[in-house]
């Protein structure tokens, strides 16, 4: 009832929106919880039932369901679950929900990539046509077998290869995507397009097998994922699945370093039982591959030594792999593995690669003069070569890079092709640099140091002194672009990572205003011309939160920008300097619009240039009913509910009886607008206890004067309460040149209140 007791804890979050936790102090440390207990089948079934209830509210049938794929710890008291979307029992590739739940099992937030057949497009894209339907049910029966699909894939990838791991073929629904322009960018020249001017939509659906090949041929490991049409046997798509970096460093690069070993009956072994549990060796370990062929590397046994002094600090000379010189590569590997583990555990509370503290290992001395290092998700381990064109490939940033592939594989599992593949590689470069900064400062403490890393990948292993990649100026390598363009998805993932690497550098370190500088971006057009960075620690916290709780396997640059911004807003506040820095850092690589540093626009959309103009009158309700029509009595400053900002807000519902309340306002969207972003802060609280929709609030937009159809932007219900306010955002650019009526309409049933508390309604146009 109005007023009533404080709002209850979060329950179920809408798939259309993201949930914001209460902002923490700018320098606060948000640690993850202890490793999660694996959910029982009943707990998983309950979560699937709640997600299915959301689908039912959208009118979806029992053909649609969910499949739990992984679980990880969140911040203390929370759990992160990844649920794959299924249609008629088949997984829809790249379609999934990332669900954060609290200790009671209530859903706090949901981040969604929905590519299922027949599902309506996002409400933020009015006018977007429905995705095409699948063929008839009978056509969901494959015409070729899984073995046939494997044979097709092997013939195309490595007909003479041998299988390191047994091949697999999963029957699924594969959305074939295409790129379309937003209406506002229909006539823009190609070279002027911003990442938010285009959208990936489903062109068609294919019944297909996802074939995973883990093979070797001619001294090379060949890992590929291949999509084979299950009706025709044709290859639809393929991409490399081996996460590798050519080059990287060794302990020979770091002088005398402390390493954690274990005592044995005859001396010591490189088994770190204090970091990680289980796995192949029962703890974090370094093994001696002893020149095992890269074709099918055998990790060998754990390094042992009669004393606890290891290595000679010199490049491997090609002799024994167990004497002091041969141990040096192992010392480097163990020091790198320890610091990677400690960076994520001590700073973020994330334990080992999967967050559940499962131990991993690194095998040193793979091959002979082998110029590579790679992460293998089949064993959740890493292999390091001794180098030929390079020096030993165990440098701290390389180990951090490869181990970060393990974190990605356990969480977002970004598809290793196109823009998502570039983000996969970029995450590893980011991880490598943050581990390097942490290690150089002594490898202790709860923050990532502000300096210590060089923002270049593989400098130490390079015989020429030239790094493999420059994060602050990617195109210095001759292949990586500095900014997003429509051709980015066509590049090798080690090059399409470039723009996001530069974004992260700017987010942490800032930019410069001198056009001649390597640290300048022509896309930063607002004040000041040189953006201010927020430092390694905050930048890494924001990025890691987005990766683990919001990214899905198909996340591209535009989606990454939105989800990194959401993470910044959740950690530091919607209008914080950190959230503004995220917008500016992405704008610097041509993803989204630039904003002024002194006052952000709260997460506006694409386009560039021009001052944002507020079209909503009295959106914060500080002037009472001014500008608003309808149930203006809901505008209040009641002490039972805190405002999002200021002193007033609109409290719709909360009556505990049959009631209808509506707030409306007419606004004009200029015909010259290049962006029109509607946003508002919403807090939902309910006393309802059943998993049934009783109370609703619908947000609609309609051309004034009845000249066009009313569009529903979103519907919120008693099934979607959340702790604190959530920021909602919708693109209204398709209505440019029109005067429209915004409406917030609440309906409450006869008992048990649901409150929809609205504040900071804004429509910014440029």
Q: Which residues are catalytic?
A: 402, 494
Q: Residues 16, 123: contact at Cβ < 8 Å?
A: yes
Question: In the Cβ-directed half-sphere of 599, how many Cα atoms lie within 13 Å?
Answer: 2
Among residues 508, 367, 368, 376, the alpha carbon closest in space to that of 433 is found at 508
Tokens 């910014």 correspond to 764
Query: 455 in the Ramachandran plot: left (φ > 0), alpha (ψ -120 to 50) or beta?
Result: left
Query: How many Å apart are CA 730 and CA 708, to the nearest integer?
Result: 19
DSSP SS3 for 373: strand
Q: Give the per-residue SS3 of 629-657.
A: EECHHHEECCCCCCCCCCCCEEEEECCCC
Q: Which run of H or E residues covers position 501?
A: helix 498-509
Cα 277 off chain centre by: 26
Provide the β-strand partners of residue 756.
Answer: 652, 684
- For the chain, helix, strand, coil in percent to 5 are 25, 30, 50
Provide the β-strand partners of residue 214.
Answer: 165, 223
Among residues 301, 443, 280, 317, the alpha carbon closest in space to that of 391 is found at 317
Query: How many Å apart are CA 132 and CA 424, to the nearest integer?
Result: 29
Establish whether the linkage from the previous residue to 498 is cis, with ω within 30° of 0.
no
Provide the β-strand partners of residue 376.
Answer: 381
Q: Which run of H or E residues covers position 740?
A: strand 739-748
Task: Return phi, psi of residue 55, to 5°.
Answer: -60, -40
Give the burial class of 706: count Cβ atoms within 10 A of its Cβ; 0-12 exposed, 13-18 middle, 19 or more buried. exposed
Residues 6+ apart with CB under 8 A from 19: 10, 13, 100, 108, 109, 110, 570, 722, 723, 726
Classify each residue of 31-57 as buried b or exposed e, where b means 16 or more C-beta atoms within 10 Å of its C-beta: ebbebbeebeeebbeebbebbbebbeb
Among residues 710, 644, 648, 704, the alpha carbon closest in space to that of 680 is found at 644
Tokens 């793979």 correspond to 366
DSSP SS3 for 438: helix
Query: How many Å apart are CA 398 and CA 114, to the nearest integer?
Result: 34
As a residue count, the chain comes to: 766
**Could you count the other beta carbons within 10 Å of the beta carbon of residue 221?**
22
**Could you count the other beta carbons within 10 Å of the beta carbon of residue 574?**
23
Radius of gyration of the chain (CA): 27
Question: In the Cβ-directed half-sphere of 669, how many Cα atoms lie within 13 Å?
Answer: 26
- Record the tokens describing residue 384, joined without a space: 């390091």
Q: Residues 682, 725: contact at Cβ < 8 Å?
A: yes
Q: Residues 5, 104: contact at Cβ < 8 Å?
A: no
Q: Residues 758, 642: contact at Cβ < 8 Å?
A: no
Q: Residues 588, 225: contact at Cβ < 8 Å?
A: no
């Amino acid at each position: 009832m109005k007023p009533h007791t404080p709002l209850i804890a979060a329950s179920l979050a809408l798939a259309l929106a993201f949930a914001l936790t209460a902002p923490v102090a700018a320098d606060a440390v948000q640690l993850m919880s202890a490793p999660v207990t694996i959910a029982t089948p009943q707990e998983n079934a309950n979560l699937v039932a709640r997600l299915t209830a959301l689908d039912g509210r959208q009118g979806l049938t029992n053909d649609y369901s969910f499949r739990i794929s992984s679980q990880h710890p969140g911040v203390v008291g929370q759990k992160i679950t990844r649920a794959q979307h299924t249609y008629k029992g088949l997984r829809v590739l790249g379609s999934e929900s990332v669900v954060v739940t609290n200790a009671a099992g209530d859903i706090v937030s949901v981040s969604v990539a929905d590519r299922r057949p027949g599902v309506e497009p996002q409400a933020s894209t009015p006018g977007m046509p429905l995705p095409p339907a699948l063929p008839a049910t009978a056509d969901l029966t494959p015409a070729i077998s899984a073995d046939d699909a494997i044979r097709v894939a092997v013939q195309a990838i490595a007909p003479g290869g041998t299988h390191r791991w047994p091949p697999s073929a999963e029957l699924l629904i594969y959305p074939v995507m295409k790129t379309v322009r937003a209406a506002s960018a229909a006539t823009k020249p190609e070279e002027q397009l911003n990442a938010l001017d285009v959208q990936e939509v489903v062109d068609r659906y294919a019944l297909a097998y996802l074939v995973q090949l883990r093979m070797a041929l001619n001294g090379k490991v060949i890992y590929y994922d291949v999509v084979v049409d299950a009706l025709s046997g044709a290859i639809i798509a393929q991409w490399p699945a081996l996460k590798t970096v050519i080059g990287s460093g060794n302990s020979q690069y770091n002088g005398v370093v402390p390493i954690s070993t274990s005592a044995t009956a005859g001396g010591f072994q490189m088994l770190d039982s204090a970091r990680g549990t289980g796995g192949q060796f029962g703890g974090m370990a370094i093994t001696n591959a002893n020149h095992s062929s890269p074709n099918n590397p055998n990790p060998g046994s754990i390094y042992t030594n009669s004393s606890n002094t290891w290595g000679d600090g010199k490049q491997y000379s090609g002799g024994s792999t167990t004497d002091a010189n041969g141990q040096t590569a192992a010392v480097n590997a163990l020091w790198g593995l320890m610091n990677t583990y400690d960076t994520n555990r001590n700073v973020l509370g994330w334990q080992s690669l999967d967050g559940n503290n499962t131990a991993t290992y690194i095998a040193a001395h793979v091959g002979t003069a082998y110029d590579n290092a790679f992460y293998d998700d089949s064993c959740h381990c890493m292999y390091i070569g001794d180098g030929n064109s390079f020096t030993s490939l165990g440098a701290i940033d390389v180990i951090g890079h490869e181990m970060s592939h393990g974190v990605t594989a356990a969480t977002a599992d970004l598809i290793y092709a196109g823009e998502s593949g570039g983000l996969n590689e970029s995450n590893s470069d980011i991880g490598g640099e943050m581990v390097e900064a942490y290690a150089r400062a002594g490898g202790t403490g709860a923050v990532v140091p502000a300096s210590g890393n060089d923002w270049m990948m593989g400098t130490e292993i390079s015989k020429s002194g030239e790094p493999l990649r420059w994060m602050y100026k990617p195109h210095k390598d001759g292949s990586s672009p500095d900014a997003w363009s429509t051709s980015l998805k066509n590049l090798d993932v080690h090059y399409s990572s470039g723009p996001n690497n530069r974004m992260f550098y700017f987010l942490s370190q800032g930019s410069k205003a001198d056009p001649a500088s390597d640290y300048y971006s022509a896309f930063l057009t607002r004040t000041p011309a040189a953006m201010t960075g927020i430092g390694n620690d905050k930048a890494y916290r924001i990025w890691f939160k987005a990766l683990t709780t919001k990214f899905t396997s198909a996340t591209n640059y535009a989606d990454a920008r939105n989800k990194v911004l959401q993470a910044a807003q959740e950690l530091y506040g919607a209008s914080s300097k950190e959230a503004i820095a995220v917008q500016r850092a992405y704008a610097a690589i041509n993803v989204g619009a630039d904003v002024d540093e002194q006052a952000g626009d709260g997460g506006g959309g694409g386009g560039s240039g021009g001052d944002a103009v507020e079209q909503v009158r009295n959106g914060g309700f500080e002037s009472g009913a001014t500008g608003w029509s309808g149930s203006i009595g809901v505008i209040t400053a009641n002490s039972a509910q805190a405002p999002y900002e200021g002193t007033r807000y609109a409290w719709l519902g909360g009556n505990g009886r049959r009631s209808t309340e509506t707030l409306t306002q007419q606004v004009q969207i200029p015909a010259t607008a290049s962006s029109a972003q509607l946003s508002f802060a919403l807090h939902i609280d309910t006393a309802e206890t059943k998993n049934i929709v009783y109370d609703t609030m619908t947000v609609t937009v309609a051309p004034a004067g009845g000249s066009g159809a009313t569009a529903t932007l979103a519907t919120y219900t008693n099934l979607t309460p959340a702790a604190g306010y959530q920021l909602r955002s919708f693109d209204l650019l398709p209505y440019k040149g029109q005067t429209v009526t915004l409406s917030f309409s609440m309906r409450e049933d006869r008992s048990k209140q649901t409150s929809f508390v609205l504040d900071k309604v804004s429509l910014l146009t440029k």
